Structure 1
Amino acid sequence: MSDIAVTRSDHVGMIVIQRPPHNFFDVDLIRDIADALEQFDQDAQVRSVVLAADGKAFCAGAKFAGSSSGAPASAEGRRLYEQALRIFDCRKPIVAAIQGPAIGGGLGVALAADFRVACPEARFSVNFTRLGIHPGFGLSVTLPELIGRNRAELLLYTSRRIDGEEAFAIGLVNELVEQANVRERAVALAEEIAACGPLGVLASRETLRSGLAGRVRAAVSREQAEQERLMATQDFAEGVKSTAERRPASFIGR
């Protein structure tokens, strides 16, 4: 687990992503996060978990070796989503400490958590349609469940980027604090959860999130298939090129 740090303080587990400045993920990083969460599930002393990141961004999305677009090849994409689904199967509450951008699949990682503490400087975007492809990482389920279908549709269809204040206003973020205090406040929230009866918390979470992992699993199957189909289009090539060149895309619908 060379790119994450895993620690425990009293009843709170901590996972810190350490690929600064942007903390791009790949299959290995998502697997390591899932491994750490499963280890915390087996540790009776851990009652809640904080997921944080070092660097400028919380997670700026995916970046795969040999891919100029940051998108995985088909086989790599399947492996990625197999590991991502393990995160949704974990049992203990997760608080994400979002000190900077959470973009694309990085927002998917943030929304796999139960709660999010962020700052005005944080940025959020489901930027897949700007690349000409379908959203992934279960965002077609987690985003509308969190902020409502129509708000989610707006963010998904436009690839709009919003700041921490707007994210807080629409319910994407639970708490908004100064950037320097994000991780401290996330730990305080995790400690507040951990101070409650652990059996009651686990049972309540299981009830409230009943079926979520299954819904995400079904959505990911479609997301992956659509991503693979659309990555073969001219629009995807144009989306990647225009993003790299920092200009508006000229999509043609093919």
Structure 2
Amino acid sequence: MIDIDSSGPIWTVTLNRPDKANALTEDMLRELRDVAIAAKDARALILTGTGRVFSAGADLDAAKAGLATSPLWEELSGAIAALPGLTVAALNGTVAGGANGMVLACDLRIATPGTRFFYPVMKLGYLPQPSDPVRMAALIGPARTKLIMLAGQKIDADRALSFGLIDDIVTDGDVMTRAKALCDDTIAASQDTAHAIKAMCPSGG
């Protein structure tokens, strides 16, 4: 349910459970974390999904069984944020709940026009992972973070772009093609230079 291509300088990780809106099970979450840790040797990492939804967050049954409060979410986003190479979330569709964490941890976020963002943890009686509000607020500010997390608003792609939650809407081609193009200069440069420049840039939290 996780497809991994680590054959070149750009590692591609694809959520592949489209019949369940790419909802994440414990095994999927653990595999994503392990891949993110291993990707320290990649020049760039792209996260994407199959179907019309990037991820609905935690699988509902798994969430009720304890996955909603698992430390794996924080371990995954932390591993992505710690990568020295460029990380890009190529969003093929809607991002919900805990799936926002891995997206917020990426350096860049691009999306299809139909992508929406929402984080209904409060409605479900859970807290967000600790780093998620911090990273979101670093991108869009505290009030807009509360708009999503406390007021429960669903944000469409146009609004997400205006907020700064995403960096581009891909209207003239495939989101993966655009994501790979964003990695071209990074993988063409020396690894030491690319890593040093990323280290100089402020993080999102």
- Confirm or deny a common fold (TM above 0.5): yes
Aligned to 1:135: 128
Gaps of 5+ in 1: 213-254
TM-score w.r.t. the length of structure 1 is 0.71
Give the aligned length. 204
Letter in 2 for 1:51: L
What percentage of residue pairs aligned between the two structures are identical? 28
DSSP-derived class of the 1:116 partner: strand
Structure 1 partner of 2:83? 90
Query: Does residue 43 of structure 2 align to residue 39 of structure 1?
Result: no
Task: State which of 107, 116, 121 in structure 1 corresponds to 2:109.
Answer: 116
Matches within 5 A, 1:203-218: 203-209=196-202, 212=205
Question: Does 1:30 pair with 2:16?
Answer: no
Instruction: State how far apart, in whole Å, the 2-side matches of 1:87 and 1:24 are.
Output: 19
Name the Cα RMSD after superposition: 2.5
2:45 pairs, out of 46, 49, 72, with: 49
SS of the counterpart of 2:5? strand
- For 1:52, give the aligned amino acid: T
Q: Report matched runs for 1:59-208 at 5 Å.
A: 59-63=55-59, 65=61, 67=62, 70-73=63-66, 77-136=70-129, 138-178=131-171, 181-208=174-201
CA distance in 2, matches of 1:38, 1:74: 20
**Matches of 1:105 and 1:182, distance apart in 2:** 22
- The residue identity in structure 1 corresponding to 2:53 is A
- The 5 Å alignment of 1:234-253 reads none
Q: Which runs of 4+ in 1 moved over 6 A?
A: none
**Quick check: which one's strand share is greater?**
2
> Residues 72, 208 of structure 1: CA spacing in aligned structure 2 closer, same or farther, 3 A cutoff?
farther
Q: Give the unaligned 5+ runs of structure 2.
A: none
Aligned-pair distance for 1:190? 1.9
Distance 1:85 1:15 in 2: 16
* Alpha carbons 1:124, 1:163 under 8 Å: kept: yes
Conserved? CA contact 1:62–1:71, under 8 Å: no
**Structure 2 match to 1:240:** none
